[in-house]
Amino acid sequence: MSERRRRDGRGYRWATTFMAAALAVISGVVAVEALRLVGFGLDRPGIDAFYEQTADDAVGAPGSVIKIDPLLGAPVATSAWRIMYRTTDARGRAAVTTGVLVVPLTPPPPGGRTILSWGHPTTGAARECAPSYGFDPFLLIEGMRPLLNRGYAVVATDYVGMGTEGPDSYLVGPTGGNAVLDAARAARAIPESQASEHVVLWGHSQGGAAVLFAAERAATYAPELEIEAVAAAAPAADLTALMSAHLDDISGVTIGAYAFSAFASVYPDANLDDILTPQALEIVPRMNELCLLANEGELHQIGTPLVGDFTTSDPTTTHPWNELLAENSAGSTAFEAPLFIAQGLEDTLVVPDDTADFARHEASLGMDVTYLTIPFASHQTVALFALPALMQWLDRVAPH
């Protein structure tokens, strides 16, 4: 055999060995994921019983745990639970909400794990839209694996009114912020989490607004928590700008159906009859029963005929809706933690110029702001594409 053929033979054997190893790794990943999905299937029977609540469940300190349920479909090398805990709404009323908690099996640092409290993007307003109720309750937690690899205890709220009974809270800033903070409190209350008082907040879209409100409210609402860093991808930070951008399109109808209903359930002066057309009043209850991810086509089918005929006047200039949009917009209060904001330049929902304006506003308050633009990212993909930069930023500003 010639030297060349021997070299080729070694190369072939090396390639064969490499491919076999790669296939083994892939097969292992597929097998682990298959086992995890089997676990989710085993978790499903009786799941509705977990979300049942009594009249006394809301009685207790915000962040205290009502019940927990171990999840068989936990990600590899973790323990995970579905949780029900107490919180408060924008008017200070006691409320109950749900979520998930997942922690790595690696030993915690001496002071306990840093908590990563995640705020998910829009999924809807009905109970069935709660991420913890879904077949894979971890599906929407962007960056969960690298966060777990760094030792974080990851907790993800469903928000109030999803999963459990209660007033709608879609884009109701204080309610969302409270739920994010109380999720961190609930994580600390579960001994198995071995969680500390150190907290990082991370959210996308609706969740971006929720974590911003959480950061603004933490010093007074949850002073025992130390907010180390705050990150938001395409946050729904300025609701007036968001609504102005979509007054005459299907996004405005969908956002309005969820948000106006939520405002009306919380604020006494907010009457849907005063802002929605008769045609909108007829279809909004049906839209609020549909989850965005599973029923987007049906939502658009219902809502498209109302484009241009959804509201009786411009809500951004009509009392009390203009005041409520401003009141539930982030940016009224500075906070000490460094802030990371990511925005996709292909985003047609949260307008890039509006996010740039918000980032400049936060910086004008004296805050430490890192603003990342991603040219090819859409509203749906920005949180995913921001992860490499986000992880580098977290490693720098919130080492643990």
**Model pLDDT for residues 299-344, shown as the tens digit of each residue:** 999 999 999 999 999 999 999 999 999 999 999 999 999 999 999 9
For the chain, give the percent of residues with pLDDT over 90. 82
pLDDT tens for each residue of 239-263: 999 999 999 999 999 999 999 999 9
Q: Give the pLDDT confidence score for residue 382 in this predicted structure.
A: 98
Q: Where are the alpha helices (DSSP H) in 1-82?
A: 3-43, 47-51
pLDDT category, 167, cuts 50, 70, 90?
confident
Cβ-contact 369, 363 below 8 angstroms:
yes
**Cα 293 from Cα 312, distance rounded (Å):** 28
Is 174 found in the same domain as 77?
yes
Alpha-carbon separation of residue 74 from 26, 33, 34, 117, 237 (angstroms): 19, 10, 12, 17, 32
- Is 50 a member of any domain? no
Domain-located, residue 48: no
pLDDT band at 43 (very low <50, low <70, confident <90, very high): low
Domain of residue 101: give its range.
56-238+329-397
Q: Where is the domain boundary, 276, 309, 325?
A: 325
Both 154 and 164 in one domain: the answer is: yes
Q: In the listed set 285, 303, 325, which residue is the last one of a domain according to the structure?
A: 325
Residues 298 and 343 reside in one and the same domain = no
Q: Are residues 114 and 234 located together in one domain of the fold?
A: yes
Same domain, 78 and 217: yes
